Structure formats: structure tokens, C-alpha cells
Amino acid sequence: MHIMEETDLEKLARRLSRAVGKLQFSAPVHTVYNPLDYAWAAHQAFLRRFGTGSKAVVFLGMNPGPFGMAQTGVPFGEVAAVRDWMGLTAPVKRPVPEHPKRPIQGFDCPKSEVSGRRLWGLFAERFGSPEAFFERHFVVNYCPLVFMSETGANITPDKLPAAERAPLEAACDAHLAEVLQTLQPEWVIGVGGFAEQKAAAVRDSLGASACFHLGRVLHPSPASPAANRGWAEAATKQMLAQGVW
């Protein structure tokens, strides 16, 4: 049996998974999911199919959504977009411990991740096939972990206490720097303000070796009133105005 050699992005993702897997988080964080662990088969399939070669544009998200990457292992990974548009499916294990209010159902998850539906929907509409999009573009998340409170509410990484955020961000910064050095993009586009700030910090840390421009698009979250008024149009306008598209 031929075992395919790990790609550079696979090696980096495994290293990030190990680094963040050692971290401890206290209240209000009740449960932490690491899709790079229990959904590794799906994430690996995504990297192998679409993450090879250099990319002109890298979109950077914050961290997995409960019905997106938490279920499918793919950034912004709304089930229908990953399964039907990208043509990817893979077995997804159950995380341990599993939050009773946030079960992991993998590709059987009936809920749609709105942010992912909007993001991948725009790319599908603009580029047609995933091959056409991924030829020059890629999507990564800054942080691979999902944080939940006791009630199951999502806690974003920027809301963690500074002492717990520092080691997490050190691991995520190091990973992002290596991913960008591997993909050699002309542009890094923060999906939302947090991601743009993180990309800027990593660019500063890389110094002269960072040759990419920084951009930003509105976050497609349903929590954003602006995104609910027509996210695809707004994001397209931003991409054109910045000269990325």
C-alpha cells in the first residue's frame, strides 16, 4: 500500500494541534474542541486536495464555528459547501469530552454554518469550481480551537483572559508565519478585524521576509448587521477596491 507523504501544511497543522492540545483553559471556558485532532481525516483531505503549491491570496479566519469547522474539519466548513461543492467527506470522530449541548455529528450535522455558507457561496458563485478558486486562493484559520461555556455558548479567542491567551497566540502566530512562508501569498485578507490584526502582527514579526499586502473583508457572521444586509456584495466590493480581485 502506497502511503502518501505528508505535505508541508499537514506537518504544520499536526504541530499546531500538538502545541495547542497541551494548553489549559479555566472558567468561563468549560469545554474545548480541537478539530485538528478528532476531525483530522477531513482536515487532511482538505489540505491534500487544495493546499498544495503557492497561493496568491490567503483568507484568514479567527477560529472554528460550532457548525462549520467544528463539524467538518475545514475552515468556515459549512457541511453542504464542503461535501457538495468541494466534494470532500471523511469520518469525524467524537471529541472527548463532548459538550452535551454541542454534539459533533460531522457531515451528518443538520445545522448550517451561516458564515461558511456566505463565504464559500461567494467563492462558488465567482469562481464556479473549487479547482478554479483554490488555484490561486486558500483559506486558513488563525486558531484551531473551539471554546464553549457551560451553557454551550461560543467563546471567541479574543475573549480569553490574557494569561491564557498569550501561550495560545504564541502557538498560532508561529503556525501562521510558517503557513504564509509556505504558501508565499501576495495578499493576506483578514476575515474581520481580529484576523486582520493577527496577520499584521505576524507580518511585523517576519520583517523583510514578509512580502505580502494586507487586506480585510467584512466578517460574514450573522451577528454582524452589515453582513446581513448583503455580505457577498459588500465583500466583493472590498476585494475589488483593494485591488485583490
Tell me: the pLDDT tens digits for 198-236?
999 999 999 988 889 999 999 999 999 999 999 999 999
Task: Please tell me the predicted confidence (pLDDT) of residue 208.
Answer: 84
- CA–CA separation, 119 and 127 (whole Å): 12
pTM above 0.95, yes or no: yes
Q: Is the pLDDT of residue 3 over 70?
A: no
Q: Which amino acid is at 152?
A: G
Q: Is the pLDDT of residue 1 over 90?
A: no
Contact present, 48 and 10 (Cβ < 8 Å): yes
Q: Is the pLDDT of residue 119 over 70?
A: yes
Tell me: the pLDDT tens digits for 29-65?
999 999 999 999 999 999 999 999 999 999 999 999 9
C-alpha cell at 213: 499586502
Q: 169 φ, ψ to 5°?
A: -70, -30
Give the count of alpha carbons within 13 A of 7, CB side only: 18
Residue in this structure with the C-alpha cell 457541511, named with its chain if needed: 79
CA-based nearest residue to 214, from 222, 225, 206: 206
- CA–CA separation, 219 and 232 (whole Å): 10
Q: Is the pLDDT of residue 2 over 80?
A: no
Q: Which amino acid is at 61?
A: G
Q: Tell me the CATH number for domain 25-157+170-241.
A: 3.40.470.10
Share of the chain above pLDDT 70, in %: 99
Q: Is the pLDDT of residue 132 over 90?
A: yes
Contact present, 43 and 1 (Cβ < 8 Å): no
Where b means 16+ CB within 10 Å and e means fewer, 225-240 reads: eebeeebbebbbebbe
Residue in this structure with the C-alpha cell 451577528, named with its chain if needed: 223
Task: Please tell me the predicted confidence (pLDDT) of residue 82.
Answer: 98
- CA–CA separation, 187 and 243 (whole Å): 10
Q: How is the chain split into domains, by residue range? A: 25-157+170-241
